[in-house]
Amino acid sequence: MVDAVTLEVVRNGCIAVAEEMNANLVRTGYSPNIKERRDCSCALFDADGEMVSQAENMPVHLGAMPFSVAAAVDAFAGDLVPGDAVLLNDPFHGGAHLPDLTLVSPVFADPDADDPTLVAYAANRAHHADIGGSTAGSVAADSTEIYQEGLRIPPVKLFAGGEVASDVMEMLLVNVRTPDERRGDLRAQKAANETARRRVHELVEEYGVDDLTAAFDGITDYSERRMRAELASLPDGTWTFEDVLDDDGRGNTDLPIRAAVTVEDDEVTVDFTGTAAQTEGPINAVRAVTVSATYYAVRCVTDPDIPPNHGCYRPVTVDTPEGSIVDPNPPAAVVGGNLETSQRVTDVVLGAFGADAPERVTAAGQGTMNNVTFGGTDPRDESPYAFYETQAGGFGGRAGADGMDGVHVHMSNTMNTPVEVLETAYPLRVRRYAYRPDSGGAGAFRGGLGLRRDVEVRGHVARFSLLAERHRHAPYGLAGGKSGGKGAAYLLDGSDERTADAGQDTDRGRDADGRVDPAETGERIPQKSVHDLAPGSVVSVHTPGAGGFGDPSERPRKAVLRDHRLGKITAEYAREHHDIDPETIENGDGTKRAEDGT
């Protein structure tokens, strides 16, 4: 047993280890995807491979990372020495999807001893902007099997005894489009784990191996007790919910995901029986991803102050039908399962928890990561490039608060690529970046707004892939709230003839620079599609808004007028959903609207 004070000090020390790991990974990362978007996660595990602490990073990474640590340990049981680091990404052997590379390093208390004592594992996962495959960026919206999605890496030692395994590294680098970037990001991942090694050594020096190991056990046991207490406070029963994925990009539409959530005493079981069978397109989510999304949803409806670690998940059982889109068999295409299906799993599990008490959860967020990749040869230096990003949208309204506008939701917790960085690092230009008025679902508490981001290809032919959702089925509202706005994407080919024809007699559809607005004149493109773009082409991605919460008639008049003045809703929206005309001078509540709109 460890006394309570020591336990709390060690617990916070472990959190600090994970946070410092992540800070160093971001600081030393080579690619904008890691340095700017922070598409990476770090965690510390005990000698048994149970997660002790995590940095507050990507939920889709963190719940699935224990599967990667287990795969690494199983592959090299008893054959890991100080300085080793195991790399893997195989979704069917501990990974999630191929662009996410996980590095697992054992930490020994006495690395110079003849028989060193294993005390912990440091692990981090980073989304690499390219890992080979048929499409630059390795997020192929048209893939039908995992072999098209990039280099598949089973657990393998990338570092042995502190030295890079040069044959493994070179094998990896010759299979990707941007080898220098990959080498830099992998070295940053190694540096992050070295940070953990140093800090754990300091904890060993302070407390000793036995007390530190006991503290690790105490930390996870403490979280388990608190999670069980939270679950015991919920009413016993079974609640079901169903939502659909729009399509798989291969003509299969309205693919259901069903969940039955059963709370009994201090445990919860989530059963996905009735979910669609695995499908041809790339939206199959391996079990690790489905479990990760489920863990996240359970965390959302319980006390957020419970320390996140393996103990939180001991009372949670997840049943996934084998051969389904939430537990596919190889060689299924899975790149979008980690990105899109994980979001719908979250929507469904939260919907089930909210069936009895909607105030426990939010209305549906945008429900997609809006994955965009561009690739080709940079005309500035004739080097290959691969650009990847996810795009933000609306966060769901909830009891007591509007949804947030233009944020990454649920399983995605990244940032955007800043315009300045994007235009400097890649032969691309951002033509427009703005909120989408009227895209948030009406309610007593409005859903968050989606975004519009227009990107132009500059001076070269680019390969473009879009992998998104919620273009056909809108994010749901709750407790009388309305659905959020659906997403869309448009393409303007950039040719002189098309530009001239599109705006020959009017300025409608042109931006401030006189360029044609793709949303007005362009071609609507499928949400899962791959395109070869000519120089000057513009892709306009409109991300979904989020569902509203509560009866729209109960929204305060001042809040409606404020939204209108800020340009978040139009007068038509206010009249349709709230029976309020913002254009009238008399507001009906004792206030008047001045000519300047205040």
Q: What is the pLDDT of residues 46-88, one digit of tens each?
A: 999 999 999 877 676 667 789 999 999 999 978 999 999 999 9
Confidence of residue 270 (pLDDT cuts 50, 70, 90): very high
364-387 residue pLDDT tens = 999 999 999 999 999 999 999 999
Q: How confident is the model at residue 586 (pLDDT cuts 50, 70, 90)?
A: very low
Which pLDDT tens digit goes with each residue over 26-53? 999 999 989 998 889 999 999 999 999 9
Asked if the structure places residue 465 within a domain, the reply is yes
State the Rg of the chain over Cα.
Answer: 25
The two most distant CA atoms of the chain are separated, in Å, by: 84
So what's the pLDDT on residue 504? 31
Predicted pLDDT of residue 597: 55
Supply the pLDDT for residue 494.
Answer: 59
Strand partners, 384: 377
**Identity (one letter) of the amino acid at 542?**
H
CB-based contacts of 183, cutoff 8 Å, min separation 6: 30, 169, 173
The tally of CA atoms less than 13 A away on the side-chain side of residue 350 is: 28
pLDDT of 1 > 80? The answer is no
Is the pLDDT assigned to residue 509 strictly greater than 80?
A: no
Domain boundary among 180, 196, 226: 226
| Same domain, yes or no: 366 and 222 | no
Per-residue pLDDT tens over the stretch 382-416 = 999 999 999 999 999 999 999 999 999 998 888 88
- The answer, yes or no, to whether residue 122 has pLDDT greater than 80, is yes
Q: Which two tokens stand for residue 59?
A: 């939920």
Q: What's the pLDDT band for 419 if we cut at 50, 70, 90?
A: very high
Give the pLDDT band of residue 495 (cuts 50, 70, 90): low
Q: Would you say residue 593 lies in a domain? A: no
Nearest CA among 377, 425, 429, 385 for reference residue 537 = 429
What's the pLDDT at 594?
Answer: 55
pLDDT score for 517: 65
Position 77 scores a pLDDT of 79
User: What's the rounded mean pLDDT across residues 175-192?
Assistant: 96
**Phi and psi angles of residue 102, each rounded to the nearest 5 degrees, phi first:** -105, 135
- Rounded-to-integer distance, Cα 121 and Cα 109, Å: 11
Concatenated DSSP letters of 214-255: HHHHHHHHHHHHHHHHHHHTSPPEEEEEEEEEEE-SSS-EEE
Distance CA 526, CA 540 (A): 12
Q: What percent of the chain has pLDDT over 70?
A: 92
Lookup result for tokens 């990896």: 172
Please report the pLDDT score of residue 589 as a whole number. Answer: 53
Residues 316-321, mean pLDDT to the nearest whole number? 98
Residue ending a domain, among 173, 208, 226, is 226
pLDDT at 505: 32
Q: Per the domain annotation, does 93 fall within a domain?
A: yes
Query: Residue 243: what pLDDT?
Result: 97
The first and second tokens of residue 226, run together, are 């608190």
Instruction: Give the domain-ending residue among 173, 204, 226.
Output: 226
52-61, 285-294, 490-499: which has the highest mean pLDDT? 285-294
- Structural domain harbouring 46: 4-226
113 — pLDDT class (breaks 50, 70, 90): confident
d(C-alpha 5, C-alpha 509), whole Å: 64
Kindly tell me if the per-residue pLDDT of 321 is higher than 50. yes
338 in a structural domain: no
Q: What is the pLDDT of residue 500?
A: 33
DSSP tally for the chain: helices H, then strands E: 15, 20
- Between residues 512 and 157, which one has the greater pLDDT? 157
Under the banding of pLDDT at 50, 70 and 90, the label for residue 497 is very low
Residue 51: strand pairing partners:
45
Reference 396, options 279, 251, 548, 256; nearest CA is 548
- 595 or 419: which leads in pLDDT: 419
Higher-confidence residue of 590 and 539: namely 539
Strand 85-88 vs strand 163-164: parallel, antiparallel, or unpaired?
unpaired
Q: Is the predicted pLDDT of residue 514 greater than 60, yes or no? A: no
Residue 371: strand pairing partners: 467
**Residue 579 CB neighbours (<10 A):** 11
Structure tokens at 300: 């959302």
564 domain residue, yes or no: no
- Average pLDDT taken over every residue of the chain: 91
Distance, in Å, from the CA atom of 85 to the CA atom of 550, rounded to the nearest integer, reads 51
Say which residues have a Cβ less than 8 Å from residue 83's Cβ, sequence separation at least 6: 111, 159, 160, 161, 162, 163
Task: Report the domain count for the chain.
Answer: 2
507, pLDDT greater than 50: no
Q: Return the closest-CA partner of residue 268 out of 290, 246, 301.
A: 301
Residue 320 domain flag:
no
463 found inside a domain: yes
CA distance 54 to 307: 9
Q: Which amino acid is at 266?
A: D
CB 546 within 8 A of CB 440: yes
Mean pLDDT of the 111-123 span: 93
Q: How remote is the C-alpha of 200 from its chain's centroid?
A: 29
CB 475 within 8 A of CB 546: yes
- The residue whose two tokens read 């004739």 is 382
SS3 489: strand
- Decide: 415 and 369 in contact? Cβ < 8 Å: no
Assigned domain for 327 exists: no
Q: How far apart, in whole angstroms, are the C-alpha atoms of residue 407 and residue 440?
A: 13
Choice between 177 and 585, residue whose per-residue pLDDT is larger: 177
Question: Which pLDDT tens digit goes with each residue over 446-460?
Answer: 999 999 999 999 999
